[in-house]
Amino acid sequence: MKSTLKHRYISVILFLFFNIIFSQNNLLEKIIPKVSDKKIDSILMLLTLEEKVAMCHAQSKFSTKGVERLGIPEIWMSDGPHGVRAEISWDSWNYAGWTNDSITAFPALTCLAATFNPKLSSQFGVSIGEEALYREKDVLLGPGVNIYRTPLNGRNFEYLGEDPYLASKMVVPYIKGVQKNGVAACVKHFALNNQEHLRNTINVEVSDRALYEIYLPAFKAAVLEGKVWTIMGAYNKFRGTYTTHNPTLYKILKKDWGFDGVVISDWSSAHSTKEAALYGLDIEMGTGTDGLGSNSKNHYDNYFLANPFLELLKSGDISESIINDKVRRILRLRYRTNMNLSRGFGRINNKEHHDVAKKVATEGIVLLKNENNFFPIEDKEGLTIAVIGENATRSMTAGGGSSELKPQFEISPLEGLKQRYKKAKIIHAMGYATGPSVYDNVIPSKFNQDSLRVEALGIAKKADIILYIGGLNKSHLQDCEGDDRQSYKLPYNQEELIDQLKAINPKLGMLLVTGNAVDMPWLSKIDGLLQTWYLGSMAGHAIADVVSGDVNPSGKLPFSFPKKLKDNGAHFYGELSYPGDGTNQYYKEDILVGYRWHDTKEIEPQYAFGFGLSYTNFNLSEIETNKTKYSLHDTINVSCKVTNTGEIKGSEVVQIYIGKEKSKVKRALKELKGFEKVNLDKGDSKIINISIPISSLAFYDESISNWNIEKGTYTVYVGNASNNVTKTITISVK
């Protein structure tokens, strides 16, 4: 069972003792995360082949074996892209029933991406890492950086949007923040896991250009810039081979990028002993765990990297050098985590973490529409606000699959509004209800839907303003692991309910609670629209701050909202492009993902990537580059004066896109290459400078299987959304 803190230190002391015997390095070097190969090899010499193999596969749902006789501790993992998951039983998916495993639920990663604030991402990472450390976890299974390709993907809410540059810039500080605590971040899912439907069988066919330019950059940044310690494989296949042990991806990750960490399978994503051994997998998790008895078919010793691996090693079919490489990586991971004596004890559910969760939530909320200045809503005597919608009270930390959380508390939107509004009267009705979800099944609601609707319409008649809180939730076939959404529309007849509310009371605003874009035929019926995501423990307080105007919204969309599903590049080409024919899937939109598709094909989105309004106004002026002619080793420096011309403090995100004129290869009209968030008091101005290396303008040239920079004319686009450009500048590259 899990080691106590006392046992951890005993293990560390024993482990260091053996290091002293077999290495000449001094003791100080034994307790720092950076470890030499010589030191690791001194331990490798002590291990039997059986002990090495045992380190390469699970011993429980979320742990791997240590070596007791040498004081080498177990490795303990936890799900957690936006919070440390509750304790799971040793050998089943049932919760263990602990009373001390409640945590802070942070906003989902779509919200983090919407902040466009890497510094805040660092605070997010530090905080969640501290909570993982307090829970004695060595590996935090997150963050996710799979690209938002289709708005139907059930797990989009766990990822960082549709743009590889934005995802890269947000994931690196997150990783560094987590790992400051001596807890490994585990970036997932490597790679091309861009849908949940058919995820265990679908074979993805994609060009090298799209692979390198769209789907790999965030992983590459995680490795080369974030120095991430672990990476999780994906379920799907790529070019006929499962991605968890794929020779092409293995070469890219461990050879081309020089990744020195541990590759961990997603739970049951390994399918072959020999392929897993030869093509990059280091630790296999979750491949059948129905018991601990030796006669059980799925006993841990029967994993692909367990007894079958041992037999191939003993027979000589696989060289012992293969397992030695895996164990070296696993030992290096231990030195960085539970064998690191400088590691602290962590903190959990403290005010600082709650403040970070709230800050991310408020900065990530996106104001999409604000006709007649519907928002902010003033707290004043005599005002009655009807809060209608199930999402006003439904828990958004429960459900969703492996991202499900057990927070110490979760402030609902209704509770947050009631606490904030002291003068106005707030009344509430659900309007509709959905039942609980148990991973792949939604239990019917116990409520009568007609009665709920009648009640909501009655409440609406009594109000001065209606604030409808709807959207999706984290149930099966919505924003949830295991499968995708089956419709682009809002579920549970919400469109009809919105129409009926509008007919009763024209002052109608909406809080859209989703991790995904949705169809908006109802958009003309509402005056104000806030995209609020899944905001975690502090959801209600963050929402109330923005609705009331205590906080000025500054979030920007990390993905495009197409007007209809066919306007999305993945869906334009039909079934073979998404979801595939059951066996194969072809990414026919190629590099034109998200705004790249909308811009290049001149298809107007409902809301564009990078879009987000404010309660104040900003002006971008004095935009210029340091020069107009560049060589390959130069850097483009873009300067811009940002002025808050409104009446209150606020933040704007300056975004820089670059496109190539008359390219010899297919290109997007423009691509995000730089951004900066600026906070200004009313009337204040600031000149910002954003640097863009010419090397970042390279495309992946399939004719030479390498990156290439075209000479010629480029256009620099400066604005505050992908479709709202203030100025363009023409430059040339020699």
Give per-residue burial for 13-25: e unless 16+ CB within 10 Å, then b.
Answer: ebbbebbeeebee
Q: Cis bond leading into 571, ω under 30°? A: no
Question: Distance (Å, rounded) from C-alpha 516 to C-alpha 150?
Answer: 9
CA Rg, the chain, in Å? 26
Under 8 Å between Cβ of 507 and 374: yes
User: Is 578 in contact with 151 (CB distance < 8 Å)?
Assistant: no
79 is catalytic: no
Considering 101, 138, 266, 379, which one is annotated as catalytic?
266
Closest CA to 107 of 350, 411, 374: 411
Cβ-count burial of 698 within 10 angstroms (0-12 exposed, 13-18 middle, 19+ buried)?
middle
User: Cβ distance 694 to 631 under 8 Å?
Assistant: yes
Rounded to an integer, what distance in angstroms lies between the CA atom of residue 665 and that of residue 70? 57
Query: How many Å apart are CA 526 and CA 211, to the nearest integer?
Result: 40
Please name the amino acid found at residue 280: G
Cross-sheet strand order for the sheet of 528-531:
366-370, 528-531, 508-513, 465-471, 384-388, 425-429
* Cβ atoms of residues 142 and 192 within 8 Å: no
Q: Which of 717, 641, 642 is CA-nearest to residue 673? A: 717
What gap in Å lies between CA 142 and CA 189, rounded to an integer? Answer: 9
The H or E element containing residue 245 is none
**Which tokens is 120 given?**
């805040």
Structure tokens at 633: 């080793």
Q: Is the peptide bond before 506 cis (omega within 30 degrees of 0)?
A: no
From CA 657, how far away is CA 639, in angstroms rounded? Answer: 14
- Can you tell me the distance from the alpha carbon of 51 to that of 523, in angstroms, rounded to the nearest whole number? 61
Dihedral over alpha carbons 407, 411, 413, 419 (to 10 degrees): 180
d(CA 701, CA 155): 31
CA separation, residue 685 to residues 178, 642, 678 (Å): 34, 5, 10
- Count Cβ atoms below 10 Å from residue 226 Cβ, excluding itself: 25
DSSP 580-620: -SSSEEE-TTTT--THHHHHHHT---SB-TT--B-SS-EEE
Signed CA dihedral, 527, 530, 531, 535: sign only: negative
C-alpha 662/C-alpha 646 separation (Å) is 40
d(CA 658, CA 710): 13
Q: Give the residue carrying structure tokens 């999706």.
A: 472
Dist. CA 684–CA 117, nearest whole Å: 20
User: Is 265 in a helix, a strand, or coil?
Assistant: coil
| Residues annotated as catalytic (active site), given as ranges | 266
